[in-house]
Structure 1
Amino acid sequence: MTPAARIAAAIGVLDQILAGAPAEQALLRWSRANRFAGSGDRAALRDLVFGALRRRDSLAALGGGLSGRGLMVGHAHQAGLPLDAIFTGEGHAPAPLTPQEAAPQATDPLPDDLPDWLRPDWHRALGAQADAVAQAMTDRAPVWLRVNLAQHDPAAVAEALAAEGIATQPAPDLPSALRVVSGDRLVARSACYRDGLVELQDLSAQLASAVPPLSPGARVLDYCAGGGGKSLALAAREPAARIFAHDALAQRMADLPARAARAGA
């Protein structure tokens, strides 16, 4: 797919979402109807759609309206894309821009992309940091990996990841936490992931897992385990401890045995 065709596809998916369809459902419906699209096209479409949803109000202001087209016009303005080369109306490209769409519509400052109901509490809770945190929330969250400390050294794992095209940086206060700088889409297919050297886990969960004191023979209950990521992190810290994972919805832990086996836990 050309960049213009991807923009056109995003317009259609966003219109469905704005009409009330769940985002994942709208994307799945598009994928099933467009089986010619490769994995790169599907990934690019997801990035366009979720990027637009995170910046919905500001992109709508730039693009002249809250619609799939308005969001993508706003995205093109914000990203500095060549509008005349994208909005051509040729082939699978979106229709040409109107004179109004051709110029950014918003005035400075742009909307902060916070829901109206949240804004008062947001500013009350965050004070002087409210605007900066709101801006940070419009970006895609970083991908973090947790090194399996029971079997591997973080520096060696970082080198192994780099050899597979995945560049990382360790967290300042937690060397076993690696932030993926580039190559994040390669992680799930990498030998490092397949062989249990790393697990996908947000930094906040890794920091929480590093706090409880552990010793050989300790018995720990992860009472709201979810997918069991923190249970695995605790087991990696102290292989001689006994970790019990529990969740009210057992299906959340459906893949935990396979993940534990991969990690050697």
Structure 2
Amino acid sequence: MTPAARIASAIEILDRVLAGHPAEQSLLRWSRASRFAGSGDRAAVRDLVFEALRRRNSLAALGGGCDGRRLMIGMLRDGDTDPDTVFTGMGHAPAALSDAERHQGVDSPPVIDLPEWILPFWRESLGEEADRIAALMGQRAPVWLRVNGRKSSVEQALAALADDGVEAKADDRLEGALQVTSGERRIARSGAYLEGLVELQDLSPQMACAALPLKSGDRVLDYCAGGGGKALALACRQGGLKIDAHDADPGRMQDIPARAARAGVSIRLTDRVAGKYQLVVADVPCSGSGTWRRSPDAKWRLDEKNLDNLTATQSQILDSCSKFVAPAGHLAYMTCSLLDEENDRQIAAFLSRNDRFSLISRQLWTPVTASDGFFLALLQRNP
């Protein structure tokens, strides 16, 4: 595919996403219908789509409107490329620009790439860092790996990755955290990944898992396990744990057995939680506002009603999973959100109705201090 044909494909996909369809689903639909597109073409089109969604407002301002065509016009202008050189109407290129399109949006000022309704929540939650973090959310997210200390040292993992064309570097903020610098699309086929030496996990949740109290023999419950990332991180960090993984939708946990086997650890899946645990981890459903540069279409689908529903669900989960914490045990409440409504206010409300728990610590990681936005509140049940 030519660069112009890739942009034409991105326009088609963006129009579908902007109509309300998930980005991943729309990309998959296009890929299946476009057998002529090679792996490089698919990757390039994906990058165009996600870049446009990350910076939808600012590119719409530059392009003169918020549809796939004008977002691509805005992206070209932002990169100092004359859209007339791409929008030629020749071959598989997008149709030529109209006179109106040539003059729309060229002098528009920069804007914040967030839904307008969420700005008060965002700024109240993040204070002086709000606009800086919003700007960082418009950039592509780095890829992070977690070294499995059960199977490898950092040096061995780096060497094994390099053998398969994946370059990475250690991060001094957390032992075992690797930032990928090139070859990220080779990770899933690399020997280091397939043999369980490394696992994909962002730096911020890695830091959260490293902050949790653990000792051999502890019973640990990953209450909203999903794909099992937190359970795997804990199992690889401390031997002798008895880890149960639970999710309201058991289908979300289908990959955990294979991932655990690859990592060389044991995680038991359960749909009925019973007994008491020394540590309960609740990485609850949330807005995902801390991960919007990875799934940028999600921020444009979220509305205030969705946020209200999410906070109600979070409250219910806190009340439910707290019943499984043993006396003197810990409850780790986690979100990949940057919003106070889902974080500190949620914890304050829980503590106001439950005097059996005390707040031990809380931490909010952002793209300024770590990588994704991620929140951890560590609570302890009174003996």
Return the TM-score normalized by structure 1: 0.93
CA distance in 1, matches of 2:189, 2:3: 25
Which runs of structure 1 show a deviation greater than 3 angstroms over 4 or more consecutive aligned residues? 81-85, 98-104, 106-109
Partner secondary structure for residue 220 of structure 1: strand
Indicate if the aligned counterparts of 1:10 and 1:45 stay in contact, CA closer than 8 A. yes
Partner secondary structure for residue 176 of structure 2: strand
Pairing 1:161–2:154 present: no
Provide Cα deviations, 1:106-139, integer angstroms capped at 9, x if missing partner.
Answer: 5464111110110111112222211111100111
**Could you say which residue in structure 2 is the equivalent of 1:79?**
79
Q: Which moved more, 1:154-163 or 1:140-149?
A: 154-163
Superposed CA RMSD: 1.7
Q: Which moved more, 1:63-72 or 1:95-104?
A: 95-104
CA distance in 2, matches of 1:142, 1:14: 23
Provide Cα deviations, 1:129-181, integer angstroms capped at 9, x if missing partner.
Answer: 11111100111221111110111101221122123221212222212111111
Q: Which moved more, 1:229-238 or 1:105-114?
A: 105-114
Provide Cα deviations, 1:4-56, integer angstroms capped at 9, x if missing partner.
Answer: 10001111111222223332232222122211111221111111111111111
CA distance in 2, matches of 1:213, 1:25: 39
**Could you say which residue in structure 2 is the equivalent of 1:26?**
26
Partner secondary structure for residue 60 of structure 2: helix
Pairing 1:193–2:193 present: yes
Give how far 1:99 is off.
4.2
CA distance in 2, matches of 1:84, 1:93: 11
CA distance in 2, matches of 1:155, 1:189: 19
After superposition, residues 151-230 of structure 1 pair within 5 angstroms as: 151-230=151-230
**Could you say which residue in structure 1 is the equivalent of 2:248?**
248
Question: Which blocks of at least 5 consecutive residues in structure 1 are unaligned?
Answer: none
**Could you say which residue in structure 2 is the equivalent of 1:146?**
146
Indicate if the aligned counterparts of 2:144 and 2:201 stay in contact, CA closer than 8 A. yes
Q: How many residues align?
A: 265
Provide Cα deviations, 1:158-216, integer angstroms capped at 9, x if missing partner.
Answer: 12212322121222221211111111111111111111111111212211211223233
Indicate if the aligned counterparts of 2:61 and 2:109 stay in contact, CA closer than 8 A. no
Residues 91/108 of structure 1: CA separation in 2 closer, same or farther (3 Å cut): closer
**Could you say which residue in structure 2 is the equivalent of 1:94?**
94
CA distance in 1, matches of 2:114, 2:225: 30
Partner secondary structure for residue 175 of structure 2: strand
Partner secondary structure for residue 206 of structure 2: helix
CA distance in 2, matches of 1:20, 1:224: 27
Q: Which moved more, 1:90-99 or 1:43-52?
A: 90-99
Indicate if the aligned counterparts of 2:201 and 2:229 stay in contact, CA closer than 8 A. yes
Give how far 1:259 is off.
0.4
Give how far 1:241 is off.
2.0
**Aligned residue type for 1:13:** I
Give how far 1:76 is off.
0.8
**Aligned residue type for 1:60:** A
Provide Cα deviations, 1:220-243, integer angstroms capped at 9, x if missing partner.
Answer: 222222211111111111222222
Provide Cα deviations, 1:45-89, integer angstroms capped at 9, x if missing partner.
Answer: 111111111111110110111111100000111123353432221
Percent same amino acid among aligned pairs?
Answer: 58
Indicate if the aligned counterparts of 2:7 and 2:72 stay in contact, CA closer than 8 A. yes
Pairing 1:125–2:125 present: yes
**Aligned residue type for 2:118:** L
**Aligned residue type for 1:66:** C
CA distance in 2, matches of 1:140, 1:226: 24
**Could you say which residue in structure 2 is the equivalent of 1:115?**
115
CA distance in 2, matches of 1:212, 1:169: 25
CA distance in 2, matches of 1:231, 1:25: 28
CA distance in 1, matches of 2:217, 2:26: 49
Partner secondary structure for residue 221 of structure 1: strand
Indicate if the aligned counterparts of 1:74 and 1:104 stay in contact, CA closer than 8 A. no
Question: Which blocks of at least 5 consecutive residues in structure 2 are unaligned?
Answer: 266-383
Indicate if the aligned counterparts of 1:60 and 1:66 stay in contact, CA closer than 8 A. yes
Indicate if the aligned counterparts of 2:149 and 2:176 stay in contact, CA closer than 8 A. yes
CA distance in 1, matches of 2:85, 2:105: 20
CA distance in 2, matches of 1:163, 1:32: 32
